[in-house]
Chain A
């Protein structure tokens, strides 16, 4: 216990320290704006359910990274939840293989409204490198309605935050 306390004290708050070192200068500002918008429009917190639909894993890795102590997306009011029943938004990665179509649809249907879907990563836009596959849906829009897209392969954590800000700014 003492070791944990001592080490966490020694480390300090990384999100601030790290910003001075290498986070792009706008990160805190973007995050701050996102925070106030979420406060206004979502009653303080935006809950996201992530569904990996055939992604290569790097998109997930970056989404997880957005929650690490450096980027700490949670402090802006964004939370990743374990069940679609708790979610406001669905974040989908990957080119949606046929085997995932039904699961994706059911996950969406299990969410309470109002709800929206965001796609994350080039694969999820139009299949990306897997566009010509015999086994991918290609267009997620045919399965669930998509509100916005986060480009990148994979998108960096800060790109995820920026995209969420843009999107939420548009929602009434």
Chain B
């Protein structure tokens, strides 16, 4: 069903008439409904588009409009368009009806909205804080409110975080983290187990919360673009791409084709080095050192290639509003770099798939069933491994569609399926890079200066190697960033991991975890 039809039916069938409907871009429509209709309008859009809640966030517009806004984003994949449903909330006592009882994919977003804005949710089943841990952050301080002042003295509320408890004979808990044994970001895992198998896994994150969204505010877009690369260093380019796309939409900047292709090349290069590292990570976690070393050599070669092309091993400081051009020697460097990486990747693949003991570990381990993945809103490679063929590149990008891109898909949802998806995507990315960088021009002219007003809001997106990264940006009248909502795929996917682990033994947890390889900084912001 197209968005137009959904809107029509919303009025005729549900008797919800939007107060306002605005097309911000050909692929982005905003509707505003009355606060009392917000929940039903979202449920309706959720059922009709088949989309999980792609993002849900609030905005403090008390100064300009005398209210808070809550906004919920859905993707209508088959037509490649976004639907944003908003409602005005009371400035003094903001609250809205919780969606999470009906759409689980809204649950974590709602907790975030609550703690960041002090907005209440009627009927919410989980009122615990997410990132502002009660051990260190007092009650009543909401960082994303415009009149927020940090507490003079930080102290907790005295309340401990309530983990779900599993009780019964012989049940024990294994707490792990926040500091882990490897060289990796912090998080806490609470396993409840009886004997070998895990009965329940609860993941508590937020340890890497740095207040990213607040820090975006008040920056000029160029500075904010640079800052977006710090949100998640291993997906720096995808984040900067999503941010720049949002600002370009607001300013009406058209990025020339040549530069769009250059961006696609870099986005795929980011995917290559990370997928190679992830495949190697699986080998590490079963103690299989040769392929692990092989993968780290591939990654090193690709990082060196990144540096040759952009001056940065992590593709930082290269993207610009309006795009940037690759150096003229790019095609040759990429050709050589890719050839080397592909040769080693073949060895890596053959070694892993040819090892009976490795295959025995990954097959049937950590299964995330399709239904659970759909309900949790799991996306990216983890979603595709559980039979959800969603990929922003295939659904929303003409460039990729014209290049004949098809998302990788597996059905089983186990560690092996996620490995298969990564292997297929590695190979497909290499093909795409060759395709995008072959008609080498000079990068096209820089786009003309903005003709449209500089303030407004828009949604930018990029399919990073972990899945869809969304940036919803509002530029104020003064041209500065007023609100920037960052949505990283890991935010939804962590719960996917928590659901995939029970039934497995604790020693298989690293393997399950690595096969998802989710972001801590992207989740914690």
Contact = CB atoms under 8 A, between A and B. Distances in A.
B234 A129 contact: no
A150 to B, nearest CB: 14
A166 interface: no
Nearest to A94: B208
B184 A134 contact: no
B231 A68 contact: no
Contacts, number: 149
Nearest to B233: A58
A52 B208 contact: yes
Query: What is the interface residue range for chain B against chain A?
Result: 35 or more
Nearest to A59: B233
Given A69-B297, A134-B143, A135-B209, A60 B184 contact: yes
A136 B186 contact: no
A69 B299 CA distance: 11
Contacts of A56: 230-234, 236, 521
Nearest to A64: B183
Contact of B297 (A60, A70, A97, A134): A70
Contacts of B14: none
Nearest to B143: A134
B521 A129 contact: no
Interface string B232-253: 1110100000000000000000
Interface centre among A70, A83, A123, A134 (most CB of B within 10 A): A134
Contacts of A132: 215
A52 B519 CA distance: 13
B112 to A, nearest CB: 14
Contact of A101 (B136, B290, B354): B136
A172 interface: no
Contact of A98 (B137, B181, B351, B354): B137
B300 A65 contact: yes
Nearest to B226: A129
A65 B210 CA distance: 25
Nearest to A134: B150
A67 B277 CA distance: 13
Nearest to A136: B210
B213 to A, nearest CB: 11
Contacts of B178: 99-100, 103
B176 interface: no
A99 B183 contact: no
A61 B206 CA distance: 20
Given A4-B351, A57-B521, A97 B209 contact: yes
B181 A99 contact: no
A3 B351 contact: yes
A50 interface: yes
B290 A57 contact: no
Interface centre among B181, B208, B214 (most CB of A within 10 A): B208
A63 to B, nearest CB: 5
A134 B234 contact: no
A68 B207 contact: no
